[in-house]
Structure 1
Amino acid sequence: MLRMQGFTSGPASQRVRCDLRTAVRCLIVSLICSGAIVSSSTAHAQVSTYTELAADGKASPVVATQIAPYALTSSVAVRSVLNISSDGATPALFTLPLSEVDQGEPINVAVSLCNGPTRGIAPPIAENASSSDRAALEESSLVRVYVSINANNPRPGPDSSDIADMVYARGGLAQIRLNEEGSETIEEVWVAIWPPEEAWGETGAFEIEVLVNPGAPQQQLHSQYGILLEDTDSSRALVTTFNYTAGQSPNVSLMVLPSVGDYALPSTYYNSSFCAIADAWNTYAASSERPVITSSETTRGRTQSWQGNDQRMQFEIGNLDSTSNYTAWLLNVNSSDSNVSSVALYPAIKFKTKQAGVCRLVWDIDFCPEVAYSIPLDPVVATEDALNIINETVTPNLANFSKTLSTWSCNDTYFGQYSTVQSCTNCLNSYRDWLCAIAMPRCTDPVESQSNGSAAISDVDSLTGRSVGSNTELLPYVLNRNVSDTRQSYIDNQLDVDGPYGEVLPCLYTCLFVQRNCPGPLLSWTCPRWDITAQHDYGTFADAGANGLGAGENGGAGSDMARWGGPLRYIAQDAFGNTYCNAMGVDTYLREQNTDHVGGVDAHGDSNDTVALGGEKEAGMRAPAKVMPRTTVNGSIH
């Protein structure tokens, strides 16, 4: 079980310790509110507040009317109610008095929609609506937040937009930052929260949470992902965070919710709301169905931009239901010298657990450190026994390859330097990762139809060299496997896999990285060519071109940059949990190199290094589809 630290605020005699059930509420409210926790209210424009020592619901309600706005305290969040009206003309008003304002400091306003209509407010948008009409309809359904720091505009709104800032609550969250340079005179801060311009048939009210503070924002919504999905099995998932320096672990927490059902967010209308996510997580964490989350640190996924002692946090999420969809968010809490903490919420990722069957999630493997995915394994076989069996193949082959590589004077810059950007260490690591992908095939649920549900080619004879085109249907490169058709004989003979499963094929780039990173004159390593034999043994990125290489060539990320759940390239796995090929980290490397222009492959698959990608030579070593124990020729496996 993930153990949450006991976060505190206020005098020592008034500190409150957070257990797992209330951890997120403490993170989002106690930490950022510097001594006040806020509960929900039940009447329109009524705000309930209470100190940490007050019992829940015992505070006296304060009415925030259009005539007498509720006076906020800096850095203290409050909750109130915003009625939905047919004309959108009844706002909830708040003010931050001048006594709470630091002149010369920016002002941050954050408004979250905690709950409301189950589906939010959904306007009727025709499929053939233009982009401008679609945008206008969507905006008409969103809560509006107006903020003024001008004494002449104490009730900011649509009629005074020329002297007020406005933002829509998209995904249930609105954030405004005023006086960025600190040069404006703040006469007071007035916040007006207006219901949607059009109710579109919905009635009732939104519960809202309001937080205003000077200086650095105390609630931040990141635009880039903070966690990545590694893989799932039938009851567990593994995710990892961004990298950080060893010994300086970030104060991060993970929240996981079912994507549908009683514990899910009502709809995507609330998917960025701090309080909606926290409330749903608190309810889920208090139930018997709650997930079991444990954390540890890893150096898996190391890339060239990492410092020598960088690492990542990884979370194992257990007690999940099979074949079920989940959504996960990462929270990062930062404390400043002034004892005021800020909470950063990262975009959600989606994932689905697998069927109950032969796929088992494994990671932190000494001989295959980049493996963090499910492998085919009978439920009765112990994981340790299975890894020992697999290691009988991996370690001898890696040792033989290393021995051959050592005949090259890798450290001799005069005679042995074959590349200005690669090294024999890179070569050995690339070969090891390729070897592990072959020896430990990635397991998934079988596709219903090999011909219509997968981009992999089961009949290699059907590949004639004629282009099969880009993977426009965004199908995974999965081959259905049976007892007589496993990639390695020990899978059915020793790992006792007797049921069908799907194998996510290794990305072609796992082979090309060996070709790119290793000394060509010594190894002459070549990889199968796309449309000739490659698709039978390898897959590629969802956004690769018709030749199996590059990125952004199969429709890119879309005009709204959301096709993959974000502006990503080299898509071996998207933010919705769809896996296209087994990347072994090459996707991360390529994204980094494409951004930093550090050798390697650019967006079109062109090589910037001395070893070309793609193509086959008359002589040389062909990267095989299977690994045979202890059989080597010149250090490469045949």
Structure 2
Amino acid sequence: MQFPKLTPLQSRLAASLTTAVILIVILFSLSPRHSAYAAEIDSILNDEHNHHWLPENVDAAGLSWDDEKDQDAYEAEFLGLDRGIIGRAPAGVDGLDNNTPSNLNLDPGRTNNYVFENKTLWGNHSATGLGLPALPRTRETRDVGEFATPIEIRQDRASQTTRLLYISINVCSQPTRNGTSTSTGPPPQLTLYISQSERNQRPSPDANELDMKTLPLNEGFQNCTIDATGDVYIGVHAPELPQGFSGGYNYDLAASIDGYYHSWTEDEKDSPLLYLVDSDTSSALLVTSNLTQNDITDRVYQNGLNMRPPFQIFAFNENETSIKGLEHSYCGLKTMNASTQVITDRSMTVRGLGNHPKEQFYVRNLNHSSTYLSYLAIEGNSTNFGAGTVGGGDNNCRVVFNLTFCSEVAYAVPSNPELFPDRQNLADMYDKNAAHHYQNFNYSLQQIPCSTTANDTKYSLVRNCTHCARDYKNWLCAVTIPRCADFSTSSQLYYLQPRNLAQAFINGSRPLHDTLTSHRTLTQRLGTNSSRNPWIDEEIRPGPYKEVLPCEDLCYNVVQSCPAAFGFGCPTSGQGLEMSYGTRNEKKGVVTCNFPGQMIPAHAPNGRY
């Protein structure tokens, strides 16, 4: 039998109808023989069936419950994912992210709770950043480009059962005295609680002590490293306040799988990080230790010198009570520093300590009669971001630094605030005077055959013109720019030489005779009734002050390094040496004579001579 020939349109229509019939047949063959309404589910399922349930009081949208207990009752599960991977903080517990501090207020007697979830614990590490210029290579560091970063061995989760978690906290503000307190101490410290137990998801003073670490804060700071296996629960508790205190706490809490977000370390006396260069009646100059030991030709050296000053310094009067209890907290010191009148100028320098890059701080608006505590701090990784004493407060000693010619000079010099209100103008005046005298010496040195290689024409077999020029410059800067100490400084310090005693103080008063250790003849001696250089009395006119004499070896070095034809010589003992030069004392922290580039540890017992 021959079928009629179909047109293309008829062929497509027939194919569509055939397909539809086949689909209807398949659908009927797969349909159940019985139907069931939703209301019949409870009658079909018996108690042996394991199925999820919803609380009876969930709303139509499935989003709200009547009480906190019901909120914890339902938790969805997905094939292949447990709660530790999905994560959801318990009710009333805040989640912490890696390297992200949580800043909260906390009232006395209350506890704030957090969780660092399992999924975050086993997440990816964060980039460490560039950090400070590279220090000398050690076993624990490796070079990465132009900076050094710690070596960290990171294993896959499959080969690990625990991961280090770094927890740290800083107190930013604390309760204050309300006028009724009889205590001289700070308010009580916060306490940090840490738990890894599911039975103790809100660690606090009321929780089971067997399931948690209890870590009281120390002066506003605490940190802890734990071997974590899953969710880590954290509590921060504020104690009840004793009588006389009011207000609450504010703090930063952070957790990290990379390293401590907050840290604190005490300055080591054998290798301090901060040095006092010098101070005057209202300011102080401090510098850090070297930030890199690389050679001047190294790119790290140049990057260190040109970098943004990484450190900052907080200076407080030692009698300031507001910082008590916050001394180890960067956040707390930063908050309290905002209310002080102290001003700090920061810059980079290579002066002193081997001429490597370091940071210097010019701290101003200090009180002459006060003692200050200084704290060196760094935020992030550095690259992302005289009462009762005549003349005691006369300001005739002033710190100068960053001189062009005498670049190693950084200390207090005789000054006159009325003639030189600007510190830089005073520094330039001294520097130009020294450079002028050096030029005359340089003309003479050019007459010496410095480039000769013949031993019979050299003026010395162990020294040359380079040594002579260096040592003469060091001596010249020290004697033309004397190091100044306040006239009110103790007369018991043998290494201080009184100067200008026949002159009046800037305010018009004159030194009392009993301040001259009963030696009236001092006002009649040339060495004590005038400055070392007449130029100082003529141009600066500082009035009475005391001088830290240059070290005697500066003079000896010039005699040893320069040609004998120059006729250099040093005074001898008993014939002017003691009035002109001082002797170095090997005791750390005591400045008994002056030489360019000298510094003392900031925590030295003799911070102001």
TM range (shorter): 0.5 to 0.7
Alpha-carbon offset, residue 280 of structure 1? 2.3
User: Taking structure 1 as reference, are residues 204 and 256 closer, same or farther at Cα in structure 2, changes over 3 Å only?
Assistant: closer
> Given that residues 171 and 221 in structure 2 are in contact (C-alpha distance below 8 angstroms), is that contact kept between their aligned partners in structure 1?
yes
Q: Residues of 2 paired with 1:66 and 1:195: CA distance? A: 21
Question: 2:596 maps to which residue?
Answer: 584
Alpha-carbon offset, residue 408 of structure 1? 9.1
User: Taking structure 1 as reference, are residues 342 and 297 closer, same or farther at Cα in structure 2, changes over 3 Å only?
Assistant: closer
Tell me, yes or no, if structure 1 residue 231 matches structure 2 residue 278. yes
Q: Secondary structure at the match of 2:477?
A: helix
Q: Residues of 2 paired with 1:418 and 1:402: CA distance? A: 19
Q: In the alignment, residue 582 of structure 1 is paired with which amino acid? A: N
Out of 347, 352, 357, the residue aligned to residue 301 of structure 1 is 352
> Given that residues 107 and 248 in structure 2 are in contact (C-alpha distance below 8 angstroms), is that contact kept between their aligned partners in structure 1?
yes
Out of 428, 433, 455, the residue aligned to residue 474 of structure 2 is 433
> Given that residues 515 and 527 in structure 1 are in contact (C-alpha distance below 8 angstroms), is that contact kept between their aligned partners in structure 2?
no
Once the two structures are superposed, residues 442-483 of structure 1 have per-residue CA deviations (whole angstroms, 9 ceiling, x without a partner) of: 1121135413xx243769xxxxxxxxxxxxxxxxxxx99997
User: Taking structure 1 as reference, are residues 359 and 335 closer, same or farther at Cα in structure 2, changes over 3 Å only?
Assistant: closer
Question: 2:158 maps to which residue?
Answer: none
> Given that residues 313 and 361 in structure 2 are in contact (C-alpha distance below 8 angstroms), is that contact kept between their aligned partners in structure 1?
no
Alpha-carbon offset, residue 376 of structure 1? 1.0
- Counting matched residue pairs gives 419
Q: Residues of 1 paired with 2:177 and 2:581: CA distance? A: 42
Question: 1:502 maps to which residue?
Answer: 546
> Given that residues 322 and 356 in structure 1 are in contact (C-alpha distance below 8 angstroms), is that contact kept between their aligned partners in structure 2?
no
Once the two structures are superposed, residues 118-169 of structure 1 have per-residue CA deviations (whole angstroms, 9 ceiling, x without a partner) of: 489x9999xxxxxxxxxxxx99965443434454654557897777555543
Q: Residues of 1 paired with 2:480 and 2:574: CA distance? A: 24
Pairwise CA RMSD of aligned residues? 5.3
Q: Residues of 1 paired with 2:438 and 2:225: CA distance? A: 55
User: Taking structure 1 as reference, are residues 378 and 148 closer, same or farther at Cα in structure 2, changes over 3 Å only?
Assistant: same
Question: 1:48 maps to which residue?
Answer: none
> Given that residues 323 and 333 in structure 2 are in contact (C-alpha distance below 8 angstroms), is that contact kept between their aligned partners in structure 1?
no
Identical positions, percent? 20
Alpha-carbon offset, residue 585 of structure 1? 2.7
Summarize the alignment of residues 431-580 of structure 1 with structure 2, pairs less than 5 Å apart.
431-447=472-488, 449-451=490-492, 454-456=493-495, 484-497=529-542, 499-506=543-550, 514=557, 537=580, 549-551=585-587, 570-572=588-590
> Given that residues 434 and 477 in structure 2 are in contact (C-alpha distance below 8 angstroms), is that contact kept between their aligned partners in structure 1?
no
Summarize the alignment of residues 19-30 of structure 1 with structure 2, pairs less than 5 Å apart.
none
Once the two structures are superposed, residues 330-389 of structure 1 have per-residue CA deviations (whole angstroms, 9 ceiling, x without a partner) of: 4434559xxxx988xxxxxxxxxx834322332222331110122113331553344333
Summarize the alignment of residues 32-431 of structure 1 with structure 2, pairs less than 5 Å apart.
68-82=92-106, 91-102=111-122, 105-118=163-176, 142-151=189-198, 154=201, 167-179=215-227, 185-194=228-237, 205-224=248-267, 226-241=273-288, 242-244=290-292, 245-248=301-304, 249-250=307-308, 252=310, 254-259=312-317, 266-284=322-340, 289=341, 291=343, 293-303=344-354, 310-318=356-364, 328-334=374-380, 355-379=393-417, 380=419, 382-383=425-426, 384-397=428-441, 406=450, 418=462, 428-431=469-472
Alpha-carbon offset, residue 584 of structure 1? 2.6
Q: Residues of 2 paired with 1:450 and 1:442: CA distance? A: 16
Q: In the alignment, residue 173 of structure 2 is paired with which amino acid? A: N
Q: Residues of 2 paired with 1:410 and 1:119: CA distance? A: 79
Q: Secondary structure at the match of 1:584?
A: coil
Q: Secondary structure at the match of 1:492?
A: helix
Q: Residues of 2 paired with 1:410 and 1:197: CA distance? A: 85
Once the two structures are superposed, residues 187-233 of structure 1 have per-residue CA deviations (whole angstroms, 9 ceiling, x without a partner) of: 22222335579969867643332122221323333444554343344
Alpha-carbon offset, residue 270 of structure 1? 1.0
Question: 1:5 maps to which residue?
Answer: none
Q: Residues of 1 paired with 2:209 and 2:580: CA distance? A: 60
Q: Secondary structure at the match of 2:99?
A: coil
Q: Secondary structure at the match of 1:221?
A: coil
Q: Residues of 2 paired with 1:222 and 1:253: CA distance? A: 14
Once the two structures are superposed, residues 591-623 of structure 1 have per-residue CA deviations (whole angstroms, 9 ceiling, x without a partner) of: xxxxxxxxxxxxxxxxxxxxxxxxxxxxxxxxx
Question: 2:16 maps to which residue?
Answer: none
Alpha-carbon offset, residue 173 of structure 1? 1.3
Instruction: Give the structure-2-normalised TM-score.
Output: 0.54
Name structure 2 gaps, 5 residues minimum. Answer: 1-88, 124-161, 293-300, 386-391, 499-518, 602-609
Q: Residues of 1 paired with 2:598 and 2:560: CA distance? A: 12
User: Taking structure 1 as reference, are residues 390 and 70 closer, same or farther at Cα in structure 2, changes over 3 Å only?
Assistant: same
User: Taking structure 1 as reference, are residues 322 and 66 closer, same or farther at Cα in structure 2, changes over 3 Å only?
Assistant: farther
Name structure 1 gaps, 5 residues minimum. Answer: 1-64, 126-137, 180-184, 344-353, 460-478, 541-547, 552-569, 573-578, 590-638
> Given that residues 93 and 193 in structure 1 are in contact (C-alpha distance below 8 angstroms), is that contact kept between their aligned partners in structure 2?
yes
> Given that residues 139 and 168 in structure 1 are in contact (C-alpha distance below 8 angstroms), is that contact kept between their aligned partners in structure 2?
no
Alpha-carbon offset, residue 527 of structure 1? 8.6
Q: In the alignment, residue 172 of structure 2 is paired with which amino acid? A: C
Q: Secondary structure at the match of 1:106?
A: strand
For the pair shown, the structure with the greater C-alpha radius of gyration is: 2
User: Taking structure 1 as reference, are residues 385 and 144 closer, same or farther at Cα in structure 2, changes over 3 Å only?
Assistant: same
Q: Secondary structure at the match of 1:484?
A: coil
Q: Residues of 1 paired with 2:393 and 2:482: CA distance? A: 17
User: Taking structure 1 as reference, are residues 200 and 427 closer, same or farther at Cα in structure 2, changes over 3 Å only?
Assistant: farther
Q: In the alignment, residue 405 of structure 2 is paired with which amino acid? A: F
> Given that residues 426 and 517 in structure 1 are in contact (C-alpha distance below 8 angstroms), is that contact kept between their aligned partners in structure 2?
no
Once the two structures are superposed, residues 73-108 of structure 1 have per-residue CA deviations (whole angstroms, 9 ceiling, x without a partner) of: 3322223345556xxxx6543322223223665322
Instruction: Give the structure-1-normalised TM-score.
Output: 0.52
